[in-house]
Amino acid sequence: MRIVDGTTQMRLDDGRPDAGIQIQAVALAFDRATHLGFGHSPGVRERKREARESVPTHPVIDPVIIHTPLDPGTIVVFAAAFGAIVFASVRRPSYGVVALIALLPFGFPHYLGDTTIGLDKVALLANAAGLLLGRRDARVLGGNTARVLLACGVGVVVATALSIVDAHYRAPVLRETLKAAQYVALFAVVLIAVAADANDRAIRIALVATTIVVSVLALAQELIGAPSGLWYDNFPIPRIAGPLEGPNQLAAYLGLLLAVITAYAIRRPKAPFELVALGLGSAALVLTISRAGVAASLAGIIVVLVASKGSERRRAVLAVAGGAIAGCAVIASWGFTAARSFQGVKVLDRFGSAAPTNAPASLGTREQLWHAALFLWRTHPIFGIGAGNFERELGIAGFPQLHTHANSLYLQALAEGGIVLAVATIALVFVSIAAFARGPFSAPLVAGALGASIGLAAHQVFDLLVFFPKVGETWWIVLALGAARLDRGADQGDDPA
């Protein structure tokens, strides 16, 4: 386990976070716990004691990491889920997509050899099987929007595979190539399903309900303890993550879904659950204390608000603003608890500061990591050092003590895949925005896809997020939903109910 800018990440043998593990949050005594800054500076025990005496509960807790192999009981669960989703998908393909959306944040991964099987893969395979059994028309993949996005996705897969040319470690290249291929397959499956069964109401309900559940689980960590935190005045302020891998990942996930839900809320005169999702999601977003994540996600929401036409824009704005203000109030209350005065509200200054947060020596700063990325790219400028090799090759760049990613999608692509992967990545990001830039913005899935892609593109300047399947898969689902709506044209309306 490691703490990155207050974000818990797991580094396993195969380099994939959240791979085949379960995180059991155990509220340990503060003098036994390891929190952000707890083991990296003098006077640690004194700081822990002060924190323990100033708050009755533990705002930050230790995640206990358990490597979980696939067992007979889990096989039964996965088999039951597979059968149920296949049955639902054959009956109505949109129900299979609903299952994908609902199960994706929770993962439940277990090891099978050197790879993992989780509910997301089970649901994807079940959807594919349901479409095959139902003989659904795959020609929709030739639609204008779908074709361009598919081509860009395949380009990333090919560029990732080509990075093996100069790679010292080839297993990570294979892993990242298969992950990129899984994203493209997910896009194709979701697009075929929603094209065959344009059940916008079921999709909308799934997006809203999943956002509410994830947000509630994340907000609960303010009470039961978060898996990571930020030191302020000798006090650990929690950074919530919910079922996601860490706070930055939760911010990215919520940013994607909140953009789509905002588009729905604007168009529907009676949308109480959408407004609840916006309020809870915005509060959880702020409480991740992810500066880039909050700014980028709000930018995506603003794009939707500006682009969309609807009578309920004011209610949507109030829901987002109310949730964000509530989140800020909670953070300010932690600051007040830490400082024992109203000076503690200055903890909110973090959102307006570009200053780096102190991190363990093994993780470094963005300045170091970005410098290392450019150095490593220059060693192999065409095909890069190999996908998944960045953290293994940091010693070559003069940072043998660092073991992490580049904290930027674009620099990570440049270093690991050279010019080839960088161009493919930028092309995909550009097309994911340009494809939806002309609307029609009266369609919530189109406006939402535009705002979600813009927000994620901005966030990934400062963080590598599509590396994490829960974020990457959610993005590709949103793209598929938007592309299906664009390519089916104006002959089919959107769910008004």
Least trusted range by pLDDT, from 53-62, 392-401, 405-414: 53-62
Q: pLDDT at position 350, please? A: 80
- Asked if omega into 440 is within 30° of 0 (cis), the reply is yes
* Inter-CA distances, 70 with 20, 81, 115, 478, Å: 9, 15, 10, 30
pLDDT of 177 higher than 80: yes
Q: What is the mean predicted confidence (pLDDT) over 407-434?
A: 97
Q: pLDDT at position 230, please? A: 83
pLDDT of 197 higher than 50: yes
**pLDDT class for 107, splitting at 50, 70, 90?**
confident
Tokens 């659904």 correspond to 136
From first CA to last CA, the distance across the chain in angstroms is 46
How do the residues of the chain divide into helix, strand and coil, expressed in percent and rounded to 5?
65, 5, 30
Summary mean pLDDT of the chain: 85
Q: pLDDT at position 345, please? A: 84
- More confident of the two residues 491 and 223: 223
Confirm if 66 and 24 have CB atoms less than 8 A apart. Answer: yes
Helix (H) or strand (E) holding 147: helix 144-162
DSSP 8-state class, residue 348: G
Pairing of strands 62-67, 21-26: antiparallel
Cα angle value 182/188/193 (rounded, 5°) = 125
Q: pLDDT at position 48, please? A: 40
* Inter-CA distances, 440 with 208, 307, 445, Å: 22, 9, 10
Q: pLDDT at position 64, please? A: 63
pLDDT of 127 higher than 90: yes
Q: What is the pTM of this model?
A: 0.87
Please write the tens of the pLDDT for every residue from 344-380: 788 888 887 776 665 555 567 888 899 999 999 999 9
Q: What is the mean predicted confidence (pLDDT) over 415-439?
A: 96
DSSP 13-24: TT--TTSSEEEE
Q: pLDDT at position 101, please? A: 97
pLDDT of 261 higher than 80: yes
**Helix/strand/coil for 284:** helix
pLDDT of 273 higher than 80: yes
CB-CB neighbours of 205 under 10 Å: 16
Confirm if 281 and 215 have CB atoms less than 8 A apart. Answer: yes
**pLDDT class for 439, splitting at 50, 70, 90?**
confident
**For residue 7, which of 408, 456, 453, 363 has the smallest C-alpha distance?**
363
pLDDT of 426 higher than 80: yes
Confirm if 5 and 359 have CB atoms less than 8 A apart. Answer: yes
Q: pLDDT at position 342, please? A: 82
- Sequence-distant (6+) residues with CB within 8 A of 234 are 47, 50, 51, 338
Please write the tens of the pLDDT for every residue from 26-38: 332 222 233 333 2
Q: What is the mean predicted confidence (pLDDT) over 414-442?
A: 96
Confirm if 119 and 103 have CB atoms less than 8 A apart. Answer: yes
Q: What is the mean predicted confidence (pLDDT) over 114-138?
A: 93
What amino acid occupies position 70?
A: L
Confirm if 347 and 237 have CB atoms less than 8 A apart. Answer: yes
- More confident of the two residues 60 and 422: 422
Distance in angstroms (rounded) separating the CA atoms of residues 328 and 104:
28
DSSP 160-228: HHHGGGG-S-HHHHHHHHHHHHHHHHHHHHHHHHHHH---HHHHHHHHHHHHHHHHHHHHHHHHH-BSE
Q: pLDDT at position 58, please? A: 59
Q: pLDDT at position 51, please? A: 40
**For residue 432, which of 404, 391, 474 has the smallest C-alpha distance?**
474
Distance in angstroms (rounded) separating the CA atoms of residues 127 and 193:
8
Least trusted range by pLDDT, from 132-136, 143-147, 172-176, 265-269: 265-269
DSSP 404-454: S--S-HHHHHHHHHHHHHHHHHHHHHHHHHHTTTT--TTSHHHHHHHHHHH
Confirm if 293 and 256 have CB atoms less than 8 A apart. Answer: no
The three-state DSSP-derived secondary structure of 290-326 is CHHHHHHHHHHHHHHHHHCCCCCHHHHHHHHHHHHHH
Distance in angstroms (rounded) separating the CA atoms of residues 107 and 478:
18
Q: pLDDT at position 338, please? A: 81
What amino acid occupies position 255?
A: G
Helix (H) or strand (E) holding 239: strand 236-239
pLDDT of 41 higher than 80: no
What amino acid occupies position 77?
A: V
Write out the two tokens for 279.
């309020």
Distance in angstroms (rounded) separating the CA atoms of residues 74 and 119:
10
Please write the tens of the pLDDT for every residue from 82-101: 999 999 999 999 999 999 99
